[in-house]
Amino acid sequence: MTTKLIEYPNTKLWMAAIKPPMYSVAIMPIWIGGAVAFAETKYFHPAVFSTFVAAAVFILAWENLSNDVFDSETGIDKNKAHSLVNLTGNKTFIFWLGNLFLVLGLLGILSIAWWQQDLTVVGIILLCCVLGYMYQGPPFRLGYQGLGEVICFFCFGPLAVTAAYYSQTQSWSWTSLAASVIVGIVTSLILFCSHFHQVKDDLAAGKRSPIVRLGTQKSAQLLLWVGGSIYILALLFVLLGIFPTWTLLSLISLPYALKLFRHVWEYHNQPEKVSNCKFLAVEMHFWSSLLLGLGFILAAS
């Protein structure tokens, strides 16, 4: 069973393989954790923040490179021209480059622990890395069982946001946890959306993504409910006094959410047309998270 290859010119192919916009996904949990910490303590440690952002980007680069390596072993990416392994034809190089990024990322996290004389952040981020490995690496490959979105929620939501908050304050916060639920949900939606156009290849490789399990129509409906829930949660947290009123700024990102929902609703069963929906989800994630964090900063000023 083959899927029609999406044709890209060469540079576009490399950009599609490297996926620069996707790296905002690593930055936003650190931004939200830092913003809540600033709102609550009026304290901000720029060196810790920028080291954490760089480390998160390196760790996500490792995750993506090793994803291409592990997927090349199951054959699921055989029709994916924009896989780094297919593009370079050198799996070993991509594997070791990924490992180098992991080491750089962990060194960044270790330097935060050293500044703080506290290993808590290292423990939380190591847990994210273990879960990130279990998502795609042998013998677990939990993503193939449809568990990727749950792992994604915890890693980019409660774990990463809490670690970022802790790196600034060396304490815990319910507000940070509430904000992390929103970030976790919207990050999982990106992964969910990335699977709409891959049903044929996923089925052929035995990957039971949520879209394979539910079908594209039900998945398009679910996207609407789960995506809408982040705005309802933000409103609820403001009404309960957990979030400052300024965080309602995140509602300004609603047009990006509606653009995504409409696109998927219309094209859910047309792989070529729906294939860009994960980047619409990245836009929704970027603006909703940026504005949520800004709301916390403005409330503190």
Ligand X SMILES: C/C(=C\COP(=O)(O)OP(=O)(O)O)CCC[C@H](C)CCC[C@H](C)CCCC(C)C
Ligand Y SMILES: O=C(O)C1=CC(=O)c2ccccc2C1=O
3-state helix/strand/coil string of 215-258:
CHHHHHHHHHHHHHHHHHHHHHHHHCCCCCHHHHHHHHHHHHHH
Residue 176 or residue 194: which is nearer to ligand X going by CB? 194
Q: Which of residues 241-300 bind ligand Y (CB under 6 A)?
A: 278
Structure tokens at 4: 């029609």
| Residue 29 binds ligand X (CB under 6 A) | yes
Choose among 16, 13, 69: nearest CA to 194: 16
Angle between helix 174-194 and helix 277-300 axes, rounded to 10 deg: 170
Question: Residue 38 or residue 144: which is nearer to ligand Y going by CB?
Answer: 144
CB of 204 to ligand X, least distance (A): 13
| Of residues 66 and 250, the one with the C-beta less far from ligand X | 66
Q: d(Cα 73, Cα 20) in Å, to the nearest integer? A: 24
Tell me the number of residues near ligand X by CB under 6 A: 26
R_g of the chain, CA atoms, integer Å? 19
Is the CB of 106 or the CB of 249 nearer to ligand Y? 106
| Beta carbon of residue 296, minimum distance to ligand Y (angstroms, whole number) | 22
Considering only residues 130 to 189 of the shown chain, the ones binding ligand Y according to CB under 6 A are 152, 187
Decide if residue 60 touches ligand X (CB under 6 A): yes
- 22 near ligand Y (CB under 6 A): yes
Q: Which of 190, 199, 264, 292 binds ligand Y (CB under 6 A)?
A: 190
**Tokens 């506290």 appear where?**
118
Q: State the chain's maximal CA–CA distance in angstroms.
A: 58
Q: Which of residues 107-126 bind ligand X (CB under 6 A)?
A: 125
The binding track of 145-184 with respect to ligand X, each residue x by CB under 6 A or -, is ---x--xx--xx---x------------------------
Pick what 71 binds: ligand Y, ligand X, none; C-beta below 5 to 8 Å, kind-dependent: ligand X
Question: Minimal CA–CA distance to 249: which of 260, 259, 241, 238?
Answer: 238
